[in-house]
Structure 1
Amino acid sequence: MENDFKHVHVDKKRGVDHGTWVPLMFMYPEADIPVCQLSVQTDRDGTYHYNMGKALAPLKEKGILIMGSGATTHNLGTMQPDGSPVPSWASEFDSWLKNALLEGRYEDVNHYDSRAPYGKKAHPRPDHFYPLHVAMGAAGENAKAELLHHSWGNGSLSYASYRFTAAK
């Protein structure tokens, strides 16, 4: 692993949070796989988390799935009842992110807070967005993003799901 990622600490007292167990509940309902959850570092930036993913990338060759779970927009202060119209700022950020991912502009995504429209409004705190950066980095620089699912909840929460496949 790269120098920044040599010091890893294990907390055996803390279980996995909903960002891990909810997707795994659907993917592996028997809970018959080993799981290692990583914590994002909210005092770091998108590039740091992208590099974290790059450091983890060799694990894929051993059959290890690297998954990021969060939300493409996550501003809880703007939530509305389900079925509410999507605010323009959320839609604009979500569209920007989709285009950036599908076009392979990962450097732009790493700097979303300064390059995306409404980046800081879409993510006042980056903890639900940085898992995407880890997944991007783990996939590799020339990986292709594919939109698997898209829906909205509570007006402003985008539940877009992407898969990254290694370039051939």
Structure 2
Amino acid sequence: MMPSLFLAHGSPMLAVEDTPYTEFLGKLASQLAPKAIVIFTAHWESETLTISSSDDIYDTIYDFGGFPDELYAIKYNARGSSIVASMVAQRLQANGIQVKTDTVRGLDHGSWTLLHRMYPEANIPVVQISVHPYLPAEQQYKIGEALRGLGSEDILVIGSGVTVHNLRMIRWGQTTPEPWAVQFDDWLLEKLAANDLESLFQYEKLAPNARAAVPRPEHFVPFFIALGSGDPQHHAKVLHRHYDLGTLSYLCLEF
């Protein structure tokens, strides 16, 4: 039985730097042996939910600039799975969610940097899915809800994003978190513990510092998708939490 995960992908440098966070990712993966991975990435946006559907090896997309050469030398040669992609599409469509498929797009860094540290052998099929950042939070949750139960088939659902992601407010060289960033995550955890979905869906109005934490929602909506796809009888579990550069949250959750 696979859980549903929300994982922070943070800086692309996690693919090459050995840190407590990358150590955590490796240990987490050692406890999970999925037959396939379905990952929603903040770095692929589309108005219609789009599912990678191919059995070929993905290209590795370097959708960033100004980083060391060693980062651009990494190839994450995972294969797709048209069978799993079809299963995902059918579940979404059965719940009234419009989808389309893509046979050529590679894995962006919202997917491969995490998976490179979790499953470096790239021997688990991956199905990558886009996000529509401007759907209401409740609809994001329902996208995940349509995939609830995939864990019972040993398919790992991952929402890859960040809870507090404001690049204009990072503090270079700062090793302690800004209080406002911590307060936003604390509020999320409080509402999760209370199973208060209605408040979570209204985070823009109710959460402290919501505008600073989520200036644009593309990195946050994978949280709701992962939450929706998890077991409703399973209480959310904090797997890892720290902050980089003052404000960048590395909060990771299991649902």
- Scaled by the length of structure 2, the TM-score of the pair is 0.60
Distance 1:103 1:140 in 2: 15
Q: Would you identify which runs of 4 or more consecutive aligned residues in structure 1 move more than 4 Å?
A: none
SS of corresponding position for 2:111: helix
SS of corresponding position for 2:100: coil
Question: Which has the higher Rg, Structure 1 or Structure 2?
Answer: 2
The residue correspondences of 1:149-164 to structure 2 (distance < 5 A) are 149-164=240-255
How far off its partner does 1:36 sit?
Answer: 0.9
Distance 2:206 2:232 in 1: 19
Which residue of 2 is the match for residue 2 of structure 1? 95
Q: Which runs of 5+ in 1 are unaligned?
A: none
SS of corresponding position for 1:96: helix
Aligned length: 162
1:82 correspondence with 2:195: no
Which residue of 1 is the match for residue 192 of structure 2? 101
How far off its partner does 1:112 sit?
Answer: 1.1
Answer whether contact 1:54 1:140 (CA < 8 A) is retained. no
Partner amino acid for 2:95? E
Greater per-residue helix proportion: 1
User: Share of identical aligned residues, percent?
Assistant: 38
Which residue of 1 is the match for residue 183 of structure 2? 92
Partner amino acid for 1:15? G
How far off its partner does 1:17 sit?
Answer: 1.5
Answer whether contact 1:146 1:163 (CA < 8 A) is retained. yes
Query: Which of 7, 11, 16 is the matching residue for 2:107?
Result: 16
How far off its partner does 1:84 sit?
Answer: 4.7
CA RMSD of aligned residues (A): 1.5
Distance 1:125 1:53 in 2: 20
Which residue of 2 is the match for residue 114 of structure 1? 205
Q: Which runs of 5+ in 2 are unaligned?
A: 1-93
1:129 correspondence with 2:225: no
The residue correspondences of 1:54-73 to structure 2 (distance < 5 A) are 54-73=145-164
How far off its partner does 1:122 sit?
Answer: 0.4
- Scaled by the length of structure 1, the TM-score of the pair is 0.89
Greater per-residue strand proportion: 2
